[in-house]
Amino acid sequence: MVTRSVRIVLLLVLPLLAGACASTDPEDEFANVPAATLIEYARGALEEGSYAEAIELYKQLESRFPYGRPAEQAQLDIAYAYYKNADPELAVAAADRFIRLHPTHERVDYAYYLKGIASYREREGFFARLTGSDDLSDRDTRPAREAYTTFGELVSRFPDSPYAADARQRMIHLVNVLAKHDVSVARYYLAHGAYVAVVNRAKKVLEEYQRTPSVEDALGLMAIAYREMGLTDLMQDTVRILEHNFPASNYLAELGESPS
């Protein structure tokens, strides 16, 4: 593999060896460097983890060769380089640009996947492992929603893509995260006596995230809110549903003996 120092030397020397019209711009160190050479060195930079260098090389590649396969490769790879360089917003923008410019490209499914995982980690600490070791329920949900939408497009448009299976798993995780977030918000409202807001947030969980573990919490918090508002009939109806679906729920003890 060509090392970073060797790449820099070659990129500076190759234009002189080419002997053609050398650039008069002292900042244009990439003048006359062939597209294949730029691609090779950019990929080498990526493999070494020199992401900022790779990004600059891909920018030069697209600038000098704006059409055809070299430009397409640069547009796709620079999105990955931004992602690895911890610039998720730029990675999302680059992947989205590739999708707009090349909607029928043979690798557009990868662009969707890359856009999704970049959205997934758009905030520091947001990129959670599927083990659930990083609790995201109290964080900004916009990146999660955007990632879910993008993964959904990937799965819908390219169900046989090699990235579809992982996208589906990430969607399941994201739904659980979004449901947990709404439960956390409902708990906050409950602690502050905003009982109508508790009920509304709990209803959202029941309507939008019916297959998540957060349904138990939504029912329990809703029943408690009804009790605090003195709406006994609604509380008892909710308790019946809770008891039927989660007979061992700790909320039942908190709410007292459930109706027969």
State which of 34, 66, 81 marks the end of a domain. Answer: 81
Q: Are residues 187 and 220 in the same domain?
A: no
| Entry pTM | 0.76
The values of phi and psi at residue 129, to 5°, are -75, 150
Q: Are residues 127 and 66 in the same domain?
A: no
State which of 55, 81, 107 marks the end of a domain. Answer: 81
Q: Are residues 174 and 236 in the same domain?
A: no
- Per residue in 46-86, pLDDT (tens digit) is 999 999 999 999 999 988 888 899 899 999 999 999 999 99
Domain span at residue 258 reads 193-260
State the burial class of residue 106 (Cβ atoms within 10 Å of its Cβ: 0-12, 13-18, 19+).
exposed
State which of 140, 168, 192 marks the end of a domain. Answer: 192
Whether residue 248 contacts residue 216, with contact meaning beta carbons closer than 8 Å, is answered with no
Q: What CATH number is attached to the domain comprising 104? A: 1.25.40.10
- Per residue in 163-213, pLDDT (tens digit) is 999 999 999 999 998 999 999 999 999 999 999 999 999 999 999 999 999
For the chain, how many structural domains are there in total? 3
Written as six digits, the tokens of 92 are 């999302």
117 CB-near residues (< 8 Å, 6+ apart): 83, 127, 147, 170
Type of residue found at 133: S
Q: State the Cα–Cα distance between residues 226 and 221, nearest whole angstrom.
A: 9
Q: Are residues 72 and 106 in the same domain?
A: no
Q: How many residues are given for the chain?
A: 260
